[in-house]
A and B are shown apart, each in its own frame.
Chain A
Amino acid sequence: MPLWDKTGWIPVPQRVAAVLWITFLMAGVATGAFFSAIDPQELKYCVSFPEVSRLGAYTIGFLLFWLLSASSALIAVFFVYPAPPAAPPTGLPEQPAETP
């Protein structure tokens, strides 16, 4: 998994931050925009939710937004790495040394 690989292309804290931190900020923006347009108390008429306070609904919404954006960032980080090259075949009979 490239996120933890040791090729040293990008330092590990930078890779973790790219996935978790940036998406944390975006989840905050998305939560603000979503819940300023939609009151979670009105959502419960559309979806059968267990009884959750507004603060709880905001929290769950935020965590879901974070999960969603972090998953997409994780996959993006994964695909940013070049695909591994073919490994040379192993187990072939040894070639005789060339004679001059």
Chain B
Amino acid sequence: MNSYDPTLKSSAPPAPDPNDALYEKSRKIYPRQVHGLFATARVTAATVLLGIFYLLPWVQWDGRQAVLFDLPARKFHLFGLTLWPQDFLYLTFLLMLAAYALFFFTALAGRLWCGYACPQTVWTESFLWIERKIEGTRQQQMKLDQAPMSLRKFRLKATKHAIWIAFSLFTGFMFVSYFTPARELAVGLAGFALGPWETFWLFFYGFATYGNAGFMREQVCKYMCPYARFQSAMFDKDTLVISYDAKRGDPRGSRRANVDPKLQGLGDCVNCTMCVQVCPTGIDIRDGLQYDCIGCAACIDVCDDVMDKMNYPRGLIRYTTQHELDGGKTHVLRPRIVIYGVILVALCALFAWRLSQRVAVGLDVLHDRNQLYREAAGKIENVYLLKVINKDDATHRYTLSVEGIDGLAPAEPGLVIEAASGAVVSVPIALRAAESALPSSSTPVHFSITAEDDPALTVSTEAKFLGPAK
């Protein structure tokens, strides 16, 4: 009865079947705490990532915040680099880079992102840690939740939520710090003088953190994350996945100690269900590869512990590949990996090259639309509109030079264009050339502008110089 039955009368839906997983109200999952190699890796990754998130806004660079997406001033600061709305291209580039890096690592090693780096995982881990500090172990938490309300239960729950909310609001504050300087924000907060929009986003992000890391948890991965749904498209039989070795483990069952399990007709799995108890998404890895598995490797750690206690070799649950489980060999270098890798390297190189070639000044030249050309002082005159964009952090004065036709010159020489940081300055300009010097009725001419104080700040562009038909 998992599918919708159109013969049902819409007015009287049947009572939900309690055994149907789809009807079941999502049960709270109490992941058991786990220690081991991958748990350490996960905690380290979470600490480093949260450290970066919470500390970066306090880092200064050239007298301003090092990383600041200054939306009110419409510019993005990334250490020494300042990006303007005109540099939107770089942002799209970054997004493409991120997407291909995700494809590459997914094809290579499965859901590394989900298990170790995703903000949902990282904040859920932090919230679980807080929960464990206050309510105790898995068993204690389950017992507490089943117990009727008491003073002790109320106290523990209230403490937990108070700490969660404080942590969430701090997270919201740090999030807003990427858009409004952290120091300004801290001063505003201390004086209860935050702007209304900053306040709105602080609470919005804080609420999202509280809800997603405190309550939604694995449901975010199951129902909200598009990546969880399409990552299987990047998997093949050589992708590193976390898997239970059924050949070795089955048949499962408890056994008498110090007797060879094979004599008892059993595999290596003692059916202790530890792998299920530690799973943050509440699945049984022994059922096979499932999209609910976020690849956190908690089951590997806990199963290795059990194997150690039983004196069996480790790795009943391990990072492996489908080929290896089928008794074959894993091919790391395969077309999928090579193609993703080449695209990724090419994009990185292109991005670095574009960035190194980036000049902090832009020039657009628009030919006057009303009049193609006119005769003035015995010469042919064309009028253009120059648009100069200063993408540097300082004000600059630019000089113009034009070439492409013998004797081509501005009607009024000595033009200097001054543009403040971030400003777009429009300057009309008339160019003149002798009719005899024009090779055709439409001749390409080059405009270039150069900052007076910095010859490296130079940019050029092409436009047409129009004249009478030849």
Knowing A55-B71, A58-B71, A59-B200, the reply to whether A11 touches B22 (Cβ < 8 A) is yes
Contact check, A53 vs B72: say whether CB atoms are below 8 A apart: yes
A93 interface hit (Cβ, 8 Å):
no
Contact A7 B8 (CB under 8 A): yes
Chain B hits for A18, CB < 8 A: 223
A11 to B23, CA, bound (A): 7
B13 contact from A5, A10, A55, A58, Cβ within 8 A: A5
CB <8 Å contact, A8 and B72: no
Q: In the complex, which residues 49-100 of chain A have their Cβ closer than 8 Å to any Cβ of chain B? A: 53-56, 58-59, 81-82, 84-85, 87
Q: Given A6-B16, A55-B198, A59-B197: A22 and B71 within 8 A (CB)? A: no
User: Which of A53, A81, A87 touches B11 (beta carbons < 8 Å)?
Assistant: A87
**Total count of chain B residues near the partner, CB < 8 A:** 37
B209-243 vs A: 1/0 string, CB under 8 Å? 00000001001001110100000000000000000
A54 touches B20 (CB 8 A): no
For the residues of B in contact with A, the DSSP-based class is loop
Are A55 and B10 neighbours in the complex by a CB distance under 8 Å? Answer: no
Instruction: Tell me the nearest residue of chain A to B219, going by C-beta.
Output: A13
Q: Does B88 contact A (CB under 8 A)?
A: yes
Query: Counting CB contacts under 8 A, is A14 at the interface?
Result: yes
User: Is there contact, CB below 8 Å, between A8 and B16?
Assistant: yes
Q: In chain A, residues 1-59, which have Cβ atoms closer than 8 Å to a Cβ of chain B?
A: 5-11, 13-14, 17-18, 21-22, 32-33, 35-37, 39, 53-56, 58-59
Contact of B85 among A6, A36, A81, A85 (CB under 8 A): A36
Q: Which of A14, A18, A55, A58 has the most CB of B within 10 A?
A: A55
**When the two chains form their complex, are residues A85 and B74 in contact, meaning their CB atoms are under 8 A apart?**
no
Interface residues of B (CB under 8 A from A): 1-11, 13, 16, 20, 22-23, 26, 71-72, 74, 85, 88, 91, 179-180, 195-198, 200-201, 216, 219, 222-224, 226
- 20 A-B interface contacts by CB (under 8 A): A5-B13, A6-B16, A8-B22, A8-B23, A9-B3, A10-B22, A17-B223, A18-B223, A21-B224, A35-B85, A36-B85, A39-B85, A53-B197, A54-B72, A55-B72, A58-B71, A82-B4, A87-B9, A87-B10, A87-B11
